[in-house]
Structure 1
Amino acid sequence: MAPVYPHLLEGEWPERLITDFLHEHAQNKPEKPALVDESRGRRVVLGFAGLADRVDRIATALLGLGVRPGEVVCFQLPNYWEFVALQLALSRIGAVSCPLIPVFRERELRLMVGQSESRILVVPDRFRNFDYPRMVEGLREDLPRLERVFVVGDEVPAWAEPFEELLEAEPDRKALEAVRPSPSDPTQLLYTSGTSGEPKGVVHVHNALILADLLHIEHFRLGEEDTVFVPSPCAHQTGFLYGMWLAMVLGATAVYQDVWDGRRGLELVRGYGVRFVQAATPFLVDLVEAVNETGKSPEDLRIFVATGASVPRKLAQEAREVLGASVCGAWGTTEGCLVTAGTPDDPPEKTWQTDGRLLPRMEMRVVDDGGNPLPAGREGRFQVRTPCLFTTYLHHPEWYRAAVSPDGWFDTGDLAVVDDEGYMSITGRVKDIINRGGEKVPVAEVEQLLYEHPAVSDVAIVAMPDPRLGERACAYVVLRKGATLTLEDVRGYLLARGMAKQYWPERIEVVEELPRTASGKIQKYVLRERAARLA
């Protein structure tokens, strides 16, 4: 039976640490698998007691290295068991975790490791045929505060240290308890993925993240029997909070995949009886394709929460039929965690056409450019107020003040509509607005229609500068195998679907793939830059 937390509706804080859950599970169900890691050609299964022991060893070693509460430690690891153990060890001693997505390279590391003033960095030896120690070696002169580099794997250069050495420390639980942080202390520094081109360091406290997971559990009625699949990078909030931490709060088994492949993902979901997945829309697309290709369905899967980008209606309907599971749209941010989501009980048309309704204790509103609330059915700027809101942008409090009003409303930068029943639909980004001669193009609506075209696999529409109209719409399209598509095809299709001519794209660019962040969000600023060069 799923746990219930009625006190949350009364405005109380959890006042617990993620490691409190770990140690509780280690005592009550020591042998139950806490995690399954099948990366690097071998299988590692750690029970809650075994994981707790490794966490305490690493935490003791970090204390011995001088890491203290409030200090930031950066690590750039794939979804390995080492990621989980290291992160929990940092939480144990009150240090701040700064996970870096594996796709980041010199530019991002120079900014993030330097800005966070991290003295310690942990990287893999190789991942996806990339040499991480070599990259870090080339950055050491630019990172004067960086003192020690630990490497996960067998290829450890002489100037670095093996991660395994951290496991050799004998746990000193008295010393660990002496530095136990307050739940109101910072625990996470997470850089935004960069849909706007400028990463920001988002700071969260323990209480906010634990509360976010408890509200999640309430909304989806999850329990310890709901094995969690984690294909999204743990260095992104989806994998971190709604994969790794969610499973730990539940006391459920988490199954990790380090390199995404739809067929392999399906094997893991089937093999371990996975019941819950939260990941970006592209993961859903590939999982559905894998089922269609193999004819094997994920028999135990109960819920797939699709985040990071809007779920096209056609995909949501197909996924529900193919996977035999509830497919729920949802909306959240690195700054505010998950705010709205569908549920398995929602009517199909609400599941497929909206981003759901508010989670408990969350608030939302749609306002005009002057900040005045708009009635149901009107599009405007989407703002949220949540107890799970971040506390600041690292070194940039002015960015926080610009984004969060004095009474706590966070301007998300999204455009949205909320209907009479409280279902919210994201309609675009404020910066995505295409102003064609004074007429605003409903970008999200046009994208939804084009996605339903039989030749289209993926699509994104952005503004292209125009000397007469100011802006025109340019559609970047990924085609299905063997398909072709011309501008005339698109015009004929939209004409048949009854869309006003002034909303039609006026240029089509066929590409192999759309630029995305690690969380699956389309980087429209990249496409706008490309479109500007086409004008």
Structure 2
Amino acid sequence: MTAPAPAPVDEGWTRWPAELERRYRDGGYWGDQTLGDLLREWARRFGPATALVSGPDRISYAELDAAVDDLAAGLATIGIGPGDHVVVHLPNRAEFVTVLFALLRRGAIGVLSLPAHRRVEIEHLTRLSGAVGYVIADRHEGFDYRELAREVTEAVPAVRHVLVAGEPGPFTALSALATAGRAARLGGGARTGAAGGVVSVTAAGSATDDAGSGGAGPDLGAERPDPGGIAVLLISGGTTGKPKLIPRTHRDYAYNARASADVCGLTADDVYLVALPAAHNFPLACPGLLGAFGVGATVVMAPSPSPDVAFDLVARERVTVTALVPPLARLWVEAAGWEGPDTTSLRLVQVGGAKLDEGLARRITPTLGAKVQQVFGMAEGLLNYTRLDDPDELVFTTQGRPLAAADEVRVLDGSGAGVVPGEVGELWTRGPYTIRGYYRAAEHNSAVFDGDGYFRTGDLVRQLPTGHLVVEGRVKDVINRGGENVSAGELEEHLLTHPAIGQVAVVGMPDPDVGESVCAVVVLAPGEALRLKQVKSYLQERGLARFMLPDRLEVVGEFPLTAVGKIDKRELRSWLDP
């Protein structure tokens, strides 16, 4: 394939080449609406229907649209507008939705960080994005984000505005900003200052502070954003290095959510539970809350994904669809066996973020009463879903097939040549919702995008004749034991079939004799005990080669998890003695 001419670079990100833009527009993948436009359309179509449930609040589509207008006008009063970056660091609550859409309406770009991020990550994200604002909750799960904001603003002075959902402390309350915005857009009133204080705004739009000094009035008429421009910056979900920024445009992300909703059969009768952090791609747009809003469904925000919280919401709100990562799916299934919750309303449980083992996949429907859907994808783009009409064997044993007909997939060996169909190779991809480069990461982009714009995912897969992919691990999740390559993912699958093992992670550990030794770290099923000798015997009986057998067995009570619920192998290694 001949490499296209270099795509234009705009402020640190790479657009699709003109030829592909035309192809995706002509193919109906891309439209001309911004995500802010779409909310306006949804409010017209579904006005009185319940859009969002968060704690005691039940918000209709019309009310959500008006709340977003108020907050967008409030952002204007403090000078946040087109092209500005704002780090959004909120848990699952209504303000996440109103802040996201208010930024979209202003043409500002939300940098969607995860609640578990702390100073190292937030300082990195604010610097990398050039953020002028930072949006936080006052407290969540015992952590005071206002103290973190103080540290961040001291370290990164470019962050001029800290907006707080809840008690603002020394910063600005989101509620006061929305009130000021409503007054401003109705022709006069007030705009907020530090610590939630107000600066008066005259009906004519001129502003004076308490000392009487003049200033510019709020620019409430922001220019409509470019539908082909960046809508949001997502955070890469890797477990090594500092997170990278993933630029998603209005056009590609709207398609991402719309097509995902179609694959999941979402309708206005559905109730979607946001159990995972809302800022993550999976519960945001796969189909997530954006896909649910697009069909007029109700979105329920879960403050925690724990079974005791989530099961209560499922029963009370009659939740029909939700998305989980495998460790959380296992926890739900086990808890449901103990507690017998009312999950009769559930029709679909999506599981993604990491490979779902077959044994757990087969337990979900009998335990929770819902069909399971495997989802394999990445915030950078490509999504694969098992379909609702797929045979059970494909649902339980594969990670789905690509979402779009325009998704282009290559499975390559280490030399860059295509593998024989059905053989394992590295997944490369491009398509109408897969990025062409990370934001402000030219050096890294040169290593993970080729001249044709294909993205090197780092995932090892094999593709079936049906198009379904089976994930076999990560290129970097291979342990070189004395010259023999041990796939951590493959060994984990075998270990999970042992009745005494509830969860497992296989990691390489430095070894002076063989380079890396193979360590199996396990969480045992209740009441079980296990020794390394027993594990080796079991695996040999399953026919594994001797070099695949673990050199070491460690038992832990739980695994460290990344912000999106994946097992954090980097942190896990730090727990283990060399």
Could you say which TM-score interval applies, normalised by the shorter chain?
A: over 0.9
Distance in 1 (alpha carbons) for counterparts of 2:464 and 2:44: 47
Which residue of 23, 41, 52 maps to 1:24? 41
Secondary structure of 1:98's match?
Answer: strand
Deviation, 1:32, is 0.8
C-alpha contact 2:82 2:222 (8 A) present in aligned 1: no
- The yes-or-no answer on 1:432 pairing with 2:477 is yes
Q: Counterpart amino acid of 2:134?
A: L
C-alpha contact 2:136 2:145 (8 A) present in aligned 1: yes
Distance in 2 (alpha carbons) for counterparts of 1:178 and 1:71: 12
Judging changes above 3 Å, is the alpha-carbon distance between structure 1 residues 81 and 380 closer, same or farther for their aligned structure 2 residues? same
Judging changes above 3 Å, is the alpha-carbon distance between structure 1 residues 146 and 200 closer, same or farther for their aligned structure 2 residues? same
Deviation, 1:103, is 1.1
In structure 1, the partner of 2:191 is none
Deviation, 1:279, is 2.4
The TM-score, its normalising length taken from structure 1, stands at 0.93
Deviation, 1:522, is 2.1
Unaligned runs of 5+ in 1: 1-6
Aligned length: 520
- The yes-or-no answer on 1:270 pairing with 2:281 is no
Distance in 1 (alpha carbons) for counterparts of 2:336 and 2:259: 31
Deviation, 1:98, is 1.0
Aligned positions of 1:60-79 closer than 5 A: 60-79=73-92
Task: After superposition, give the CA deviation of every residue in 1:156-188 in whole Å (9 maximum; x if it has no partner).
Answer: 32x312111122122739975642212111111
Which residue of 173, 193, 197 maps to 1:162? 173
Aligned positions of 1:235-314 closer than 5 A: 235-242=279-286, 243-314=288-359
Task: After superposition, give the CA deviation of every residue in 1:239-270 in whole Å (9 maximum; x if it has no partner).
Answer: 22232212222221101111221122112122
C-alpha contact 1:150 1:163 (8 A) present in aligned 2: yes
Q: Counterpart amino acid of 2:459?
A: D
Q: Counterpart amino acid of 1:204?
A: R
Judging changes above 3 Å, is the alpha-carbon distance between structure 1 residues 20 and 323 closer, same or farther for their aligned structure 2 residues? same
Aligned positions of 1:330-345 closer than 5 A: 330-336=375-381, 338-345=382-389
Distance in 1 (alpha carbons) for counterparts of 2:280 and 2:63: 25
In structure 1, the partner of 2:199 is none
Aligned positions of 1:39-50 closer than 5 A: 43-50=56-63
Deviation, 1:487, is 0.5
Q: 308-317 or 167-176, which moves further after superposition? A: 167-176
Q: Counterpart amino acid of 1:140?
A: T
Deviation, 1:399, is 1.6
In structure 2, the partner of 1:211 is 255
- The yes-or-no answer on 1:461 pairing with 2:461 is no
C-alpha contact 2:115 2:563 (8 A) present in aligned 1: no
In structure 2, the partner of 1:507 is 552
C-alpha contact 1:339 1:362 (8 A) present in aligned 2: no
Which residue of 46, 54, 60 maps to 2:67? 54
Distance in 2 (alpha carbons) for counterparts of 1:279 and 1:179: 38
- The yes-or-no answer on 1:357 pairing with 2:401 is yes
Distance in 1 (alpha carbons) for counterparts of 2:342 and 2:542: 34
Secondary structure of 1:199's match?
Answer: coil
Q: Counterpart amino acid of 1:489?
A: Q
C-alpha contact 1:303 1:344 (8 A) present in aligned 2: no
Distance in 2 (alpha carbons) for counterparts of 1:321 and 1:177: 54
- The yes-or-no answer on 1:86 pairing with 2:99 is yes
In structure 2, the partner of 1:452 is 497
C-alpha contact 1:71 1:118 (8 A) present in aligned 2: yes
Q: Counterpart amino acid of 1:30?
A: G
Distance in 2 (alpha carbons) for counterparts of 1:135 and 1:93: 26
Distance in 2 (alpha carbons) for counterparts of 1:178 and 1:431: 45
C-alpha contact 1:393 1:400 (8 A) present in aligned 2: yes
Secondary structure of 1:494's match?
Answer: helix
Q: Counterpart amino acid of 2:555?
A: V
C-alpha contact 1:263 1:287 (8 A) present in aligned 2: no
In structure 1, the partner of 2:118 is 105
Judging changes above 3 Å, is the alpha-carbon distance between structure 1 residues 305 and 188 closer, same or farther for their aligned structure 2 residues? same
Secondary structure of 2:414's match?
Answer: coil
Q: 488-497 or 59-68, which moves further after superposition? A: 488-497
C-alpha contact 1:92 1:176 (8 A) present in aligned 2: no
The TM-score, its normalising length taken from structure 2, stands at 0.86
Distance in 2 (alpha carbons) for counterparts of 1:240 and 1:364: 24
Secondary structure of 1:431's match?
Answer: coil
Distance in 2 (alpha carbons) for counterparts of 1:340 and 1:194: 19
Please identify runs of 4+ aligned residues in structure 1 that moved more than 6 A. none
Task: After superposition, give the CA deviation of every residue in 1:400-427 in whole Å (9 maximum; x if it has no partner).
Answer: 2321112121100111111222221111
Distance in 2 (alpha carbons) for counterparts of 1:513 and 1:434: 23
Question: Whose Rg is larger?
Answer: 2
C-alpha contact 2:536 2:549 (8 A) present in aligned 1: yes
Distance in 2 (alpha carbons) for counterparts of 1:260 and 1:296: 15
In structure 2, the partner of 1:4 is none
Distance in 2 (alpha carbons) for counterparts of 1:424 and 1:9: 28
Which residue of 432, 440, 455 maps to 1:395? 440
In structure 1, the partner of 2:9 is none
Deviation, 1:296, is 3.0
Percent identity of paired positions between Structure 1 and Structure 2: 34
Q: Counterpart amino acid of 2:487?
A: P
Which residue of 10, 14, 17 maps to 2:31? 14
In structure 1, the partner of 2:139 is 126
Distance in 2 (alpha carbons) for counterparts of 1:133 and 1:116: 21
Distance in 2 (alpha carbons) for counterparts of 1:351 and 1:216: 17
Distance in 2 (alpha carbons) for counterparts of 1:431 and 1:442: 9
Task: After superposition, give the CA deviation of every residue in 1:182-234 in whole Å (9 maximum; x if it has no partner).
Answer: 21111111222331232111111111111111221232222222221101101
Task: After superposition, give the CA deviation of every residue in 1:35-92 in whole Å (9 maximum; x if it has no partner).
Answer: 0012xxxx11100011111100000111121112111011211011011001011111
Judging changes above 3 Å, is the alpha-carbon distance between structure 1 residues 143 and 380 closer, same or farther for their aligned structure 2 residues? same
Distance in 1 (alpha carbons) for counterparts of 2:399 and 2:66: 40
